[in-house]
Amino acid sequence: MARVSREDFSVAAATNDSAYRRITVPVLRIDAGPGPAVALIAGVHGDEWEGQAAILDLWRQLPGILQRGTVYLLPAVNAEASLAGTRLSPSDGGNLNRAFLGAPARGYTESVAAALEARLLPRVEAMVDVHSGGASLCYVPSSVITRYGDDAYDERLPALARAFGLPHCVFFRGNEAGSLPAAASRHKVLRLSAEIGGGRQTRSALADRCRDGLLGCLAALGLLPDHPVLANPDIHLYDLDAPAATLRAREGGVFVPDVDLGQAVSAGQQVGRLIEPARPDTPSRPLYSPQAGTVVCLRAIARSDDGDCLLQVAPALSLDSLASKY
């Protein structure tokens, strides 16, 4: 029988109305004996709900089925933002995915990051970190592989993405030293992420797919020997780090998309328009796809400003081409 313990930690989160306020980050440790240690994390951004719902399901389910190793469950790692339903931490406006900056920790967000880097990352060999589009974006449900800096290619990544089971996988490159991928890289932690849904909402179907994907990853890592690994052999890879992958607004307006998530588009195809209903004499401004491919991400908030991401589109590649992207 697995041993279960709480390893919550709290950090200061002062506001103008509460000088000594503290926020507790819930952490559940499930220990089933010899085997790898794995962290399952959600809520880095508080308005990304699918992973939070999935890991909360595992909080109740996993102690009864874990067979080997140790799992740390963090369903709302930015607990303050989760409670507020915001992307950024309300007390200091911090982005937890840019806050792994080391000492001194300045404010709530950097304190959470420092605690994770001191308490969690040195203990684990792998982690799965679930995101979504949050309030402003919606993603085709996808696993995510992020390369930090000049990290060497890890041959285990495709198998882990296949074990997550979703038919789409997106690829990013990162160079920000304060990101969670950078922190994982410093500790040599195998990392898979995900982008599932968004739009400041969630549905059981998405949360369940995420939960099943997390169980698939644990099985692939050897922690659930009796759990079948229903690896998806046919996964499309999308390079969203390519400059042509993202269409941004160059002026303000109301974004009216002409395309849907998962739709195939051609280069130069009209994918939407910007309008200004309060100024009816302003002509509609058409928007065109920067390249051919599949619409992987779509803005969920109509009112948009200069610089906002409106959509991301990339050609579908074989997951086997991942090594060539490094």
Distance between CA 44 and CA 128 in Å, rounded? Answer: 12
Question: What pLDDT does residue 222 have?
Answer: 96
pLDDT along the chain (326 residues), means of 10: 96 94 98 98 98 98 97 98 98 97 91 97 98 97 94 94 96 91 95 96 95 97 89 90 94 98 98 98 97 98 98 97 89
Q: What is the pTM of this model?
A: 0.96
Question: What pLDDT does residue 228 have?
Answer: 83
Half-sphere exposure of 79 (CA within 13 A, CB side): 16
Question: What pLDDT does residue 149 have?
Answer: 87
Distance between CA 254 and CA 274 in Å, rounded? Answer: 5
Distance between CA 239 and CA 237 in Å, rounded? Answer: 7
Question: What pLDDT does residue 230 have?
Answer: 75
The token pair at 191 is 């990392």
For the beta carbon of residue 181, count every other beta carbon within 10 angstroms.
25
In angstroms, what CA-CA distances link 110 with 6, 7, 73, 152, 178?
Answer: 22, 19, 20, 27, 9
